[in-house]
Structure formats: C-alpha cells, structure tokens
Amino acid sequence: MTCAEFKELAGALALDALDADERAAARAHLSEPRHEGCPEAFARATAAARLLSGALPDVQPPDRVWRGIAARISARASRRRWAVASGWIAAAAAAVLAAILAGRNAGLHSEIDAMRARSATVETRAASSEELARQCAAQLEGARRTSGLARDAIALLEQRGSRVVAFAPQGGFGAAALAVVGSDGRRAILLSSALAPTAARDYQLWIIPPGKGAAPVPAGLVIAAGGIALGDFQPGVLARGAAALAVSAEPKGGSPTGAPTQVVLVAALGV
Amino acid sequence: MMMTSLWLLLAAVAGGLGAEELIALIARGEPGALRSLYDAVGGRAMSIALRLLGSAADAEEVVQDTFVEIWRRASEYRAERGAPAAWVAAMTRSRAIDRLRERGRADQALRAIALEPPRNPDPPPSESAARREERARIGAALAALPPEQRRTLELAYFEGLTQSEIARATGEALGTVKTRIRLGMEKLADSLVEALG
C-alpha cells in the first residue's frame, strides 16, 4: 500500500469500517518506517471519529451496571498492591473500613459475600485495603470512639450506594484527602491525615454549586480526631447541589472574607 | 490559590478536564475514581453501545466490560490522543463492534437497509451546558455534510458497518461509499478537531 492509498483509507480505518484484509494492510502500512503524512492523517481522522460519540444524548445506565462493575473490580483490586498505589490517605479510608469491620458483628464479611452485588462498592474498598486497614485499625478505632463524625463517616460508608472521591492537591499542596459521599449526594465527609488545624491555621470546607461562575459556599471547618482530620460538608448546603468540593487554608476561625483564601484541595463530583 | 484560580478550576470541572485526573487515580487503584469517571461518562458509553447493539442487555454488558477494562488499562491512557470521554467512548464502541461481529451482521444489515436512523433518545434532564454545547456542535458539523455523506458516516459509525456492508445495504457502488467516507471524514476533521479535539 502506498502512502496515497493509505490516506484514502485513513477515515474508514479510524471508523473501523474497513474489511479485515484492508484493515490489516492499512495497519501494516502504518508500521512502516517512512511516510508522507500517514500517521498524521490517521491521528486526525481518529480524533474526528472519537468526537462523533458526542453526537448522541447520554443514556443513564441502570444501577445494576455499576454494581456489576464494582463486583468485578473488587476481585482485581484485592490483588493490587494497595500500599504502593494509595499511600497514607488511602489508609485513612482503609482504617475507617477497618473500624466498620471491627465495629460490626463478626459476620459482616460473610454478609458482604452473600450480598456482593448489593454492597459491591463497600466490598471493593474492603478488599483493596485490608492490609493497611490492619495497620491503621488501632489508630482509627480511637477516632471512631471519640468522634461522632467518624461514626457518621462509618455509617456513610456502610450506606448502600455510597462512594469515595479523591481530592486533588492544588497549588503544590503536599497532601491529599478523600471524601465519603452518600448515595443521594446530600452528605459528604472528608478524611485526611494532613489537614489537622494548627494554632494559627484552620482548614475550611467549601461547596462549589453547579453552574458557571457560581460562588463557592462555606460549608464548615475541618476538625481533628484520633489523628485523623475529618470534615462534614454542611448537609443543608450540599442538598442544594454541588459540582465540586474544596478545602482552603484559612486564618484561625475561617475565611475572613467569605471567599476561599487559599484553595488546597478540590474534588469534582460527577464531572 | 486565589479566587481567579478557583474560577479556572470551575471551568475545568465544567469542561470535564478533571476526568484526566480521575484516570490517573484509577491507574493507582482508586475505585472511587472509577465510580466518578463512570458517573461522568457512563451515560455516553451506554448511549453508543445501545445505538450500535440495539439491545439494552447487550449494551449494559458492553459498558460493564469497558469500565472493567478501564480499571485494568488506565495507565495506558494518553491525554494527547484525546479527551477521556472520547477515549471511553472509543473503547465502548470497539467492544460493541466486536460483539456485533460475533453476532453476525445479517440483522444489522437489515436495519441499515431501512436507511432510517433510529430516533435518538431525549437528553437527560441533568445534561450539563457544556455537554449540550458539545452535542450541538457535533450535530451541526454532521448536518453541514451533504446528506449522502452524512448517512454513510452514520452507517459506519453508529451502525458499525464496513464500507462493503454499506455498499451492499444501500446498493451504492463500493467506490462511491469509499469516496463519501473519505470526504465526510475530512470535512468533519476540519470542522471538529480544532474546535473540540
């Protein structure tokens, strides 16, 4: 196949609309060392083909689709090296799970096994974090006893359909965090090892409402309990809808202006 | 970070740019990130699978397979090859076409012969303004093509037919089908890639 012939077919190759023999010939041509713009033509056609998926309105899959995905990845997740993957912050969530496992009756594991499809999300976290959960269980168990918020986080994690979202550090901030979000999106609790307030600084929670240009709404301060920092995004504010959650570093007592002073963490919700 | 940066961040959230960070987290083994990506683009994946396969049960299986594959292969994602939503859609489409080819093409060709594209579902009430705008731009780019080029591309992309199958289904000469696809794809690339790619 010549370069000119390939470029005639690049669009059809990108659409996966070539017959098997033509497709094989076109692929073989692409792997040759010298070209007159063939890779570029194919990349451009591929980009156009991929955009076509956006022409259709989205169709929300039924809940059972996610439950099936969660059940299938839980088996894979248990084989991953969680410690390498997630570090200490994941350990905080793992430890919350350990508290779940410790705090509930001994039959929880078998209950989860029996109701795998129904509780797939919770099981995924449990399966992927057992090792660090053991390491951190004692630490979080203390938090569980002393903090009503930790207990709320545990209850939220147990809730069917709840999920964990990761915060992305902003502006070079050197730590991360997770939030447990309830199934209805009306409750979110932050977990972190690195946001403990100091004598001079508080960390403040913010809810970013949907809609371009919507101003962040203050949603409470981070507290520390048992070595874990926790933050309860005010349910009343969250109930009005949220595009993202954020945390800012503030002078003691919270933002003096009503707007975030220095945003350090952000998590998008349903981007 | 001051307020200006926060507005930039909001724009990123509205534009779906945060999905790249989600894929990085998935590659590190964070199931919550996979759930967030699923919430963001699962509807698009379901839409393309349903359109290609015409069966909700088959489409659901393909969407499941796709997200399990994403969980396994997230580290292979490269931002320069396209936005995460398009990457997920391409994986979904590829799996759906594999399933079509396993199933055999007779029923598919029969559907195509009717030459009437299935009616698109209504957009969900929760559709974001950015998504609505994206859909409108792609729809406008398709609508700007000559009708025969547009329909040929639709048969290839949304029905999963090869050029030969399109020629058989429509009664057009294979050369004509090839020309329509080539011209149509070049025009689409001209109008879409710089704007949205």
Note whether residue B6 is domain-resident: no
Higher pLDDT among residues B117 and A82, named by residue: B117
Note whether residue B7 is domain-resident: no
Note whether residue B10 is domain-resident: no
ipTM of the complex: 0.78
Burial of B49 (0-12, 13-18, 19+ CB in 10 A): buried
SS3 for chain A is CCHHHHHHHHHHHHCCCCCHHHHHHHHHHHCCCCCCCHHHHHHHHHHHHHHHHHHCCCCCCCHHHHHHHHHHHHHHHCCCCHHHHHHHHHHHHHHHHHHHHHHCCCCHHHHHHHCCCCCHHHHHHHHHCHHHHHHHHHHHHHHHHHCHHHHHHHHHHHCCCCEEEEEEECCCCCCCEEEEECCCCCCEEEEECCCCCCCCEEEEEEEECCCCCCCCEEEEECEEECCEEEEEECHHHHCCCCCEEEEEEEECCCCCCCCCCEEEEEEECCC
Structural domain of residue B99, as residue ranges? 16-103
Note whether residue B148 is domain-resident: yes
Write phi, then psi, for A167 (nearest 5 degrees).
-90, 140
Say whether residue B122 is in contact with chain A using an 8 A CB cutoff: yes
- The model's pLDDT over A165-204, given as tens digits with 9 standing for 90+, comes to 888 888 888 777 888 888 888 899 888 877 777 888 899 9
Whether residues B42 and B65 share a domain: the answer is yes
Note whether residue B4 is domain-resident: no
User: Which residue, B48, B72, B103, sits at the end of a domain?
Assistant: B103
* Range from A2-11, B33-42, B49-58 carrying the lowest mean pLDDT: B33-42
Mean pLDDT value across chain A: 74
Whether residues B180 and B116 share a domain: the answer is yes
Whether residues B80 and B67 share a domain: the answer is yes
Confidence of residue B83 (pLDDT cuts 50, 70, 90): confident
Share of chain A above pLDDT 90, in %: 18
Specify the pLDDT at position B67: 95
Specify the pLDDT at position B119: 66
- Chain B closest-CA separation from residue A255 CA (Å): 12
The CATH number covering residue B53 comes to 1.10.1740.10
Specify the pLDDT at position A262: 92
Specify the pLDDT at position A195: 79
Note whether residue B5 is domain-resident: no
Q: Does B189 sit within 8 Å of A48, measured CB to CB? A: yes
Q: Does A268 sit within 8 Å of B43, measured CB to CB? A: no
Whether residues B36 and B98 share a domain: the answer is yes
- The model's pLDDT over A44-97, given as tens digits with 9 standing for 90+, comes to 888 888 888 888 888 989 989 998 998 888 765 544 433 333 333 444 454 454
Whether residues B144 and B95 share a domain: the answer is no
Residue B178 clears pLDDT 90, i.e. is over it: yes
- B29 Rama class: left (phi>0) / alpha (psi -120 to 50) / beta: left
Whether residues B75 and B121 share a domain: the answer is no
Specify the pLDDT at position A250: 93
The structural domain count of chain B equals 2
* Range from A13-27, A102-116, B134-148, B170-184 carrying the lowest mean pLDDT: A102-116
Residue A122 clears pLDDT 60, i.e. is over it: no
- Average pLDDT of B132-148? 89
Specify the pLDDT at position A199: 80
Specify the pLDDT at position B48: 93
Confidence of residue B79 (pLDDT cuts 50, 70, 90): confident
Whether residues B120 and B176 share a domain: the answer is yes
Whether residues B93 and B115 share a domain: the answer is no
Q: Does A166 sit within 8 Å of B18, measured CB to CB? A: no
Place of tokens 């994206």: B134
Specify the pLDDT at position B5: 30
Specify the pLDDT at position B81: 67
Whether residues B74 and B22 share a domain: the answer is yes
Query: Which of B8, B10, B23, B46 is best to mutate for the A interface (most A CBs within 10 A)?
Result: B10
Note whether residue B20 is domain-resident: yes
When CB atoms are compared, the residue of A48, A73, A259 closest to B31 is: A73
Q: Does A57 sit within 8 Å of B122, measured CB to CB? A: yes
Specify the pLDDT at position B117: 57
Whether residues B23 and B78 share a domain: the answer is yes
Confidence of residue A126 (pLDDT cuts 50, 70, 90): very low
Using CA atoms, how far apart are residues A239 and A245, in angstroms rounded to an integer?
Answer: 13
Whether residues B21 and B94 share a domain: the answer is yes
Note whether residue B8 is domain-resident: no
Mean pLDDT value across chain B: 79
- The model's pLDDT over A30-45, given as tens digits with 9 standing for 90+, comes to 888 887 888 888 888 8
- The model's pLDDT over B152-163, given as tens digits with 9 standing for 90+, comes to 998 999 888 889
Whether residues B97 and B170 share a domain: the answer is no
* Range from A99-103, A210-214, B82-86 carrying the lowest mean pLDDT: A99-103
Cα angle for residues B66, A31, A1 (degrees, 5° grid): 115
Secondary structure element (H or E) that encloses residue B103, with its range = helix B84-103
Residue B95 clears pLDDT 90, i.e. is over it: yes
- Chain A closest-CA separation from residue B124 CA (Å): 7
Specify the pLDDT at position B2: 29
Using CA atoms, how far apart are residues A125 and A82, in angstroms rounded to an integer?
Answer: 10
- Chain B closest-CA separation from residue A19 CA (Å): 6
The CATH number covering residue B113 comes to 1.10.10.10
Provide the residue ranges of all domains of chain A, joining segments of one domain with +: 3-55, 63-158, 163-268
Say whether residue B140 is in contact with chain A using an 8 A CB cutoff: no
User: Which residue, B103, B122, B145, sits at the end of a domain?
Assistant: B103
User: Which residue, B78, B103, B128, sits at the end of a domain?
Assistant: B103
